[in-house]
Amino acid sequence: MSPSNQNNNENRGYIIPIGGAEEKFHNPEILDRFIDVCGGKSARIAIIPTASELEDTGRNYEKLFRQIGVQHAKVLQIETREDCSNSEHTDYIEKSDGVFMTGGNQLRLSTTLGGTPVAQLIRRRNADGMHVAGTSAGAAFMPEHMIAGGDEGSTPSPDMVRMAPGLGLTNNFIIDQHFRERDRLGRLLTALAYNPFAIGIGLDEDTAAFIRPGDDLEVVGSGGITIIDPTNLSYSSMDRARRGDPVSLIDVKLHILISGGRFEIKSRQAFAE
């Protein structure tokens, strides 16, 4: 899926991928910022727990948002593709200021939501100004090209990553999560070797990229974000590498950004603050 058509890109809502394990109680900076972007405590938030197999995941986030002070937060229990045609779910999303997708398994999201009325509506509403956040699996699912799984390690290899279609909110980025904690540099580099038109975003835990209309991003949270820019890639051995072989990539640019750091997609420039 590709991003929904927009009459004016400046009207698009934020896209907010979170690296997982975001702070929820003592200083929920990321969730507070998400609520502020959505309009404050009076915002209406739709929670989609489809990625998780735990029954209480959605309810826990619903309670959490209400403890923070959100007046209207509701879990949409979407477990099957048939659920994605439920008018109660689509009506709530239609009236929402923000959607929050929980963690779990991103393939549960892509195989359950992909191509359904719910997925189409989220894309259209984001194009019209609704904000979409996702943590862990919910973050990986956001772009057009989704990392579905892969291996740990720092050196890219042809079989190190599995790709699948994502939600399609943007085609400018490929997103990976739990990045530093699970040693995922190699699999993000492998994904970019297959798709060198995109920018890679590697999200540490408790760290989010607040991607504005126009695809400029700001870092929020306690960790770092690894930005991998293959724009000037001059050489790749991916086309001749065999299964298990290391892959050579030359002239790939890498940035590490922490809270307050920014990256501009048009200029491909990074800023410390």
185-243: pLDDT as tens digits: 999 999 999 999 999 999 999 999 999 999 999 999 999 999 999 999 999 999 999 99
Residue 101 exposed, middle or buried by CB count within 10 Å (0-12, 13-18, 19+): buried
The question of whether 178 is a catalytic residue gets the answer: yes
Q: Which of 7, 32, 6, 9 is closest to 208 using CA atoms?
A: 32
The question of whether 145 is a catalytic residue gets the answer: no
CB 141 within 8 A of CB 167: yes
Q: Which of 231, 15, 251 is closest to 133 using CA atoms?
A: 15
Domains of the chain, by residue range, sit at 14-271
CA distance 160 to 151: 5
Which is the catalytic residue, given 136, 144, 145, 218? 136
Q: What is the pLDDT of residues 115-164, one digit of tens each?
A: 999 999 999 999 999 999 999 999 999 999 999 999 999 999 999 999 99
CA distance 158 to 219: 30
6 — pLDDT class (breaks 50, 70, 90):
very low
CA distance 154 to 228: 13
Q: Which helix (H) or strand (E) holds 161?
A: strand 161-165
CB 127 within 8 A of CB 3: yes
Which is the catalytic residue, given 52, 89, 178, 236? 178
pTM, to two decimals: 0.96
The question of whether 2 is a catalytic residue gets the answer: no
Which is the catalytic residue, given 144, 205, 218, 236? 205
Q: What CATH fold (topology level) applies to the domain 14-271?
A: Rossmann fold (3.40.50)
